């Protein structure tokens, strides 16, 4: 029976078995045995969790201003297992952002974005941007008071983007204020456009990794060792599985002890005393409060551009100041600034 | 040039600081 199925499959899908062996036995550099060098697979794993729980949530979510909040309320308090699915969706989104940031940090500080991997760094920045926009649109869909006003403030901030601010804000809102069209647009972004964009970017990211290979690092303790590489399957695959299972454990802990809750429903006529975005936008929010709106928006845009084009900036810096590790120290300053701004926004 | 070991340690310190800062943010969020 097994042989018959195998034969039938070989006739139906005429790809030789050696192809799969070749694809899965890619040699992986020895340094990837350290689990924190293997964090790149984590966002992909969390993204799959997001897709599955997201599809389940769409069965009950209603993207209309009059029903959005009550549908989330139903999911949280009435639908069997609704609270678990919503909480997994929420926490895996947060963990995905953390994982992407940690992965970006690892790539940045080891200089793994350097030639010939500049384009892949830029693709990675696209994935980071999509992840953040995912978080923003998803939070806005809840249509509670804070998420509604968060979306309103974000759209107003967008309006201050030089040259195309008005267009961008109207495109985002679908009108002059956050209303019915906005929710439909955010919903389409969240369940269709962003998943498509991030899937394409992930495919491109992984394809480029396979084509260019993983950056080779050699730690002092690895020097002199005979084996410089180990096979992707099963060694690296199993390690990714262990990371995945540890994450599942963490996710379960967060879901059980800190389940997703609901604030009061959105009221367009009542501005809350404190408007705050989600934690991953705290740094921008604090930066905007410290400067004027125009300077704040421009500064954030410039910082984003610097991040995207960092491999090319780094090349110039290394040429002018060789052996000084300027990139590393600038990265430390940038990272600490983001962290200080984030904590500052949280404590006030 | 900074050795790979030192960069490695630096990443560890920054990642720990990052996770700790998230815990600080979460603590303040729940107490506001």
Handedness of CA A148, A154, A157, A159 (dihedral sign): negative
Q: What is the tens place of the pLDDT at every residue in A133-179? A: 999 999 999 999 999 999 999 988 898 888 898 999 999 998 888 88
Give Cα separations from B22 to A7, A93, A246 (angstroms): 54, 15, 19
User: Can you give the residue range of the structural domain that contains A97?
Assistant: 30-111+131-189+232-277
Give the separation between CA A99 and CA B15, rounded to whole angstroms.
11
* Statement to judge: residues A179 and A303 lie in one domain: no
From the number of C-beta atoms within 10 Å of its C-beta (0-12, 13-18, 19+), residue B26 rates as middle
> What is the tens place of the pLDDT at every residue in A295-346?
999 999 999 999 999 999 999 999 998 878 899 999 999 999 999 999 999 9
3-class DSSP state of A114: coil
Nearest CA in chain B to A321: B1
Complex ipTM value: 0.92
Question: Chain B partners of A317 at a C-beta cutoff of 8 Å?
Answer: none
Distance CA B30, CA A284 (A): 21
Q: Is A212 on the interface with B (CB under 8 A)?
A: no
The verdict on A91 and A80 lying in the same domain is: yes
The enclosing domain of A149 has a CATH number of: 1.20.810.10
pLDDT tens string for chain A (348 positions)? 889 998 899 899 888 888 888 887 788 888 888 888 888 889 999 999 999 999 999 999 999 999 999 999 999 999 999 999 999 999 999 999 999 999 999 999 999 999 999 999 999 999 999 999 999 999 999 999 999 999 999 988 898 888 898 999 999 998 888 888 999 999 999 999 999 999 999 999 999 998 998 888 888 877 877 778 888 888 888 999 999 999 999 999 999 999 999 999 999 999 988 888 999 999 999 999 999 888 999 999 999 999 999 999 999 999 998 878 899 999 999 999 999 999 999 998
A237 and A341 in a single domain? The answer is no
Name every chain A residue with its beta carbon within 8 A of the beta carbon of B15.
36, 102, 105
> Is residue B10 less than 8 Å (CB to CB) from chain A?
yes
Whether residue A100 lies inside any domain: the answer is yes
Domain ranges of chain B: 1-32
Residues A251 and A145 in one domain: yes
Q: How far is B23 from chain A (nearest CA, A)?
A: 10
Total domains in the fold of chain A: 2
Does A336 lie in the same domain as A248?
Answer: no
Contact B25 A282 (CB under 8 A): yes
CA A168 – CA A160 distance, rounded (Å) = 9
Beta bridge partners of A254: none
């Amino acid at each position: 029976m097994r042989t018959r199925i195998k034969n039938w499959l070989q006739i139906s899908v005429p790809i030789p078995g050696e192809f799969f062996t070749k694809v899965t036995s890619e040699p992986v550099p020895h340094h990837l045995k350290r689990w924190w060098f293997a964090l790149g697979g984590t966002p992909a794993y969390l993204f799959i969790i997001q897709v599955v729980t997201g599809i389940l949530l769409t069965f009950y979510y209603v993207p209309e201003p009059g029903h959005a909040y009550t549908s989330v309320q139903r999911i949280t308090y009435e639908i069997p297992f609704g609270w678990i699915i919503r909480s997994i969706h929420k926490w895996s989104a947060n963990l995905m952002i953390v994982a992407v940031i940690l992965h970006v940090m690892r790539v940045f500080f080891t200089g793994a974005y350097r030639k010939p991997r500049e384009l892949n760094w830029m693709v990675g920045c696209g994935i980071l941007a999509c992840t953040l926009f995912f978080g923003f649109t998803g939070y806005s869909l809840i249509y509670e008071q804070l998420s509604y006003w968060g979306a309103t403030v974000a759209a107003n901030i967008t309006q201050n983007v030089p040259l195309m601010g008005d267009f961008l804000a109207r495109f985002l809102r679908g009108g002059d204020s956050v209303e019915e069209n906005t929710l439909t647009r955010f919903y389409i972004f969240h369940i269709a456009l962003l998943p498509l964009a991030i899937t394409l970017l992930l495919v491109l990211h992984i394809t480029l990794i396979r084509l260019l290979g993983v950056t080779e690092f050699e730690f002092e303790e690895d020097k002199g060792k005979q084996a410089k590489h180990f096979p992707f399957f099963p060694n690296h695959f199993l390690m990714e599985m262990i990371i995945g299972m540890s994450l599942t454990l963490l996710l379960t802990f967060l879901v059980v002890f800190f389940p997703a809750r609901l604030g009061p429903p959105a009221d367009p006529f009542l501005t809350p005393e404190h408007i705050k975005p989600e934690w991953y936008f705290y740094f921008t929010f604090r930066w905007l409060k410290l400067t004027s709106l125009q300077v704040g928006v421009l500064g954030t845009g410039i910082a984003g551009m610097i991040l995207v084009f960092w491999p090319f900036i780094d090349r110039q810096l290394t040429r002018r100041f060789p052996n000084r590790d300027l990139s590393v120290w600038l990265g430390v300053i940038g990272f600490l600034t983001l962290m200080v701004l984030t904590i500052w926004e949280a404590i006030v | 040039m900074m050795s790979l070991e030192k960069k490695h340690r630096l990443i560890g310190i920054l990642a720990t600081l990052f996770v700790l800062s998230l815990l600080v943010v979460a603590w303040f969020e729940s107490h506001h």
